[in-house]
Amino acid sequence: MIYTVGGQKGGSGKTTVATNLAVLLISIGRDVLLVDADDQETSSDFTALREERMENQAGYTAVKLSGINILKQVPKLAERYQDIVIDTGGRDTESQRAALTVTNIFLIPFVPRSFDIWTLEKVEFLVEQARSANPKLKAYVFINRADPRGGDNDEAAELLKQSEVLHFLDSPLGNRKAFANAAANGMGVIELKNTDEKAVNEFKALYEQLNHSS
């Protein structure tokens, strides 16, 4: 399976989701390639830290690719790995477009805030365009950094549900320190010592829902 985590908003949690997904997939025995398609190279930095902490045993392979090279290399790499997770930047980049033409599953996290939700139409347009080259592309939206209380989560969910282009996964990730703490140690939430069970359960639930829907 080839997953791309993207969207049109910076800081929505793309790298958090991509790295946690890679870690979850290796935990269930999958052979995983993590592709950093963002010039900021955050997931490469994550992997470098992870290798340092784990005596070079990150558990997955990581590469950095951009633009046209994503189109050229990912299909070949897909023959060698069971799963590929592509982390893109939060802009409409050539790299993100290239990734979407070779991807099975597009994952778009949304923070439940107006500025983030306002990018929904742009994401829909991006997916519709990508489908002209990749008709089987499945695109899933979900809430990341959900508030512990208040109406903003529900309001955002209502808007995301209305999309006819994107499928809403009703499996939010809360705004939980464990995600940042795990990243600071080169780990996924499921690996962190004294982790937050809620964060672990939310991430696993999101993956389960994705599996059921795809």
Within 23-62, which residues bind ligand ATP (CB under 6 A)?
38, 40, 42
- Residue 167 to residues 1, 75, 89, 173: CA-CA distances in angstroms? 18, 25, 21, 16
Among the listed residues 4, 8, 20, 42, the single contact to Mg ion using CB under 5 A: 42
The verdict on 15 binding Mg ion (CB under 5 A) reads: yes
- Classify the phi-psi angles of 67: left when phi > 0, otherwise alpha if psi is within -120 to 50, otherwise beta: left
Number of residues this chain uses to bind Mg ion (CB under 5 A): 3
Task: Please answer whether residues 108 and 140 qualify as being in contact, where contact means their C-beta atoms are separated by less than 8 angstroms.
Answer: yes
93 binding ligand ATP? (CB under 6 A)? no
**Cβ distance to Mg ion smaller for residue 98 or 157:** 98
Burial 87-120 (b: 16+ CB within 10 A, else e): bbbbebbebbbbbbbbbbbbbbbbbbeeebbebb
At closest approach, how far in Å is the CB of 152 from ligand ATP?
Answer: 14
Task: List alpha helices for 62-134, DSSP H.
Answer: 68-77, 94-101, 114-117, 120-133
Is 16 a binding residue for ligand ATP by CB under 6 A? The answer is yes
Selected from 145, 168, 188, 192, the binder of ligand ATP by CB under 6 A is: 145
74 vs 146, beta carbon nearer ligand ATP: 146
Q: Residue 2 has which token pair?
A: 């080839």
Q: Determine if 14 is a binding residue for Mg ion (CB under 5 A).
A: yes
Which residues of this protein are in contact with ligand ATP, per CB under 6 A? 10-16, 38, 40, 42, 89-90, 144-145, 173, 175-176, 179-180, 183
